[in-house]
Structures are given as C-alpha cells and as structure tokens.
Structure 1
Amino acid sequence: MADSLDSIRQIIGELADDDGDFYVACAETDECPAPLTGRRFPSEAAAREAADLARRYRGTLRESDTELPEHRLSVYENGGEPLTIVSTRKRAAGRRENGLPRTSRSVVLSGDGEHEWLRMDNAPVVHVRQDGEPLPDDAVERQLDSKL
C-alpha cells in the first residue's frame, strides 16, 4: 500500500507547477487535502488528473482509517491577484464607556477584477484563510468574539 500511495504522490508532484493557474479543493470547504495541499497545476486537464489521483489516494487511506474525512474535490482556476485590504480609522464624536475616544473604522477590499471590491464601515474584519487554506470555524469565531 505504501508504494501505491508514494507513487500517487509522486505523479501528482510531477503534474504540479508552482506557477499553475489551476488548483483542486473541496467544493464545500475550499480545503486542499493531502496530497493536494499547496499544489497548483498548469492546466485544467492536469488538475482533473490530480483530482482523480487524490480520490484514489484518499480511498486507499480510508481503507485503514475509516474516519478520514471525505471531500468532494473540484478543479478551480486561480482568480488572479490576491485581494488587497486597506483599513483606516478616524476619531468619532464622544467617548466609550472605558473613557477612550470613539473611532470609526473603514475597510476596503479590492482585487484585480473590474467590480471586485467591498467597503465596510464599523464591521468586524476577520481572517478566513491562512497560507492559502481556510481557517477552522473556531478560529474565525474567536476573531469575531474578540471584536465585540
């Protein structure tokens, strides 16, 4: 079994390209499970082949570990440049209960698409991804709780 898993990982590695425009992730969570973590592919065909191989790989692992999470793997094209965040804070009228001055915070997110932007005033801003992977729900929840 180990040789089979090793060979699948090797083939996926050979299909991968650091500058690739495609990746494979779970359709529900956007997680890139092993052996796809951090991998990009030069074409949709290469990404589809990698997805098929990853399904085989995870199926083989599941024979030994029935608790291994199942993922519905899909191929995605990178959306271009990552989003840019600009945050500004300015003083507002009045003071908080703790005596500190009130402030107003505005955040603008923008990307390389023509209409790809979002502006938020006085809303909590949290990180939902780290190193290209979605953060667990409890990590996002902790960030939201800290903003209250």
Structure 2
Amino acid sequence: MVDSLDAIRQKIGDLASEDGDFYVACAETDDCPAPLTGRRFPTEAAADEAADLAREYRATLRESDPDLPHHRLAVYERSGGPLTFVSTRERTAGQRENGLPRTSRSVVVSGDGEREWLRMDNAPLVHVRQDGEPLPDDAIERQLDSKL
C-alpha cells in the first residue's frame, strides 16, 4: 500500500534532526527538493531512508503532475565548517575608460582550516547561492554585467 503524501512527510520528519551531519540533495544540482528542503539527518542510514521516501513522495506527486522535475537523489555529509572567502583588490597602473583606476582582484576560498584550495586572479566572480538557496537568474546576470 502506498502511503499518503502527509504520511511520507511525517516519516521523513521523524528521521530528521536539527543538527544532523547528513543531507539528501540532487546529485546534479545540489538542490534539496520537497520534501527534503532544509532537512538534516543524524546518520547516513537515516538519510538513505529519507531519500527512498522522497523518491516515493515525488513518484506519487508525479501521478498528478507528470512535469514534476526528476532528481537523482544522493546522500551527502556536511562539511565540518563554512568556507572561508577572502577577496583582495590592489590598484594597478593606468585607468579604465570610465576614469576609475585599474585594479587587480584575487579571491581565495578555503575550508576547515586547511590551506587554500581555490584561487582566482582577475576572474569574474559571481555568487550563485545565498542562504543555501540558488539565486535567481536575473541576480546572477546583474552580477556578470557589473563585471564588464
């Protein structure tokens, strides 16, 4: 017998914990589709079970909405801490066409107290996520336009 959508959501809620180290997301986009949005799980086994329940939930929804997006759900362990993002800008010789001084910008990203693992010099850097959610396309477009 197939559980109701409410029953599946309740089962996922029962598996979740506020400080869990595991989460379930789309393997291609890192999105956490309903009913997984904002959920963390205490163990990998609990996250695996939640992924199975989410697949069942989405299959049930797809019966009434065949256009519901498909997601290849996978279990991930949260990293130990937030990323560290350091940006520096230095003045260089010359001026831009608009009269402002030319600058060089370096960005370094690192995490968990380890040495840097990404450095970009003079590359257009845009933020594509905020508060764990993707930014809308128009916000990214404005960021890219401002880099020109």
Task: Determine if the TM-score, normalized by the shorter chain, exceeds 0.5.
Answer: yes
Letter in 2 for 1:6: D
Per the TM alignment, residue 23 of structure 1 is displaced from its structure 2 partner at its CA by 0.5
- Per the alignment, residue 87 of structure 1 pairs with 87
- Per the alignment, residue 74 of structure 1 pairs with 74
Using the TM superposition, name which of 93-102 and 107-116 deviates more.
107-116
Alignment of 1:1-148 (within 5 A): 4-112=4-112, 114-135=114-135, 139-148=139-148
State the SS of the aligned residue for 2:4. Answer: helix
CA RMSD of aligned residues (A): 1.8
Letter in 2 for 1:26: C
Contact map agreement 1:12 1:53 (CA 8 A) in 2 = yes
Using the TM superposition, name which of 126-135 and 48-57 deviates more.
126-135
State the SS of the aligned residue for 1:50. Answer: helix
Distance in structure 2 (CA, Å) of the matches to 1:27 and 1:70: 11
Distance in structure 1 (CA, Å) of the matches to 2:39 and 2:16: 6
Letter in 2 for 1:44: E
Distance in structure 2 (CA, Å) of the matches to 1:115 and 1:91: 26
Contact map agreement 1:29 1:134 (CA 8 A) in 2 = no
Q: Quick one: structure 1 residues 61 and 116, their matched pair in 2 at CA, closer, same or farther if it must change by over 3 Å?
A: farther
Contact map agreement 1:32 1:133 (CA 8 A) in 2 = no
Per the TM alignment, residue 117 of structure 1 is displaced from its structure 2 partner at its CA by 2.2
Letter in 2 for 1:99: G
Contact map agreement 2:22 2:78 (CA 8 A) in 1 = yes
Length, aligned pairs only: 146
The normalised TM-score by structure 2 is 0.89
Distance in structure 1 (CA, Å) of the matches to 2:136 and 2:77: 23
Distance in structure 2 (CA, Å) of the matches to 1:131 and 1:103: 29
Q: Quick one: structure 1 residues 81 and 29, their matched pair in 2 at CA, closer, same or farther if it must change by over 3 Å?
A: same
State the SS of the aligned residue for 2:145. Answer: helix
Contact map agreement 2:23 2:47 (CA 8 A) in 1 = yes
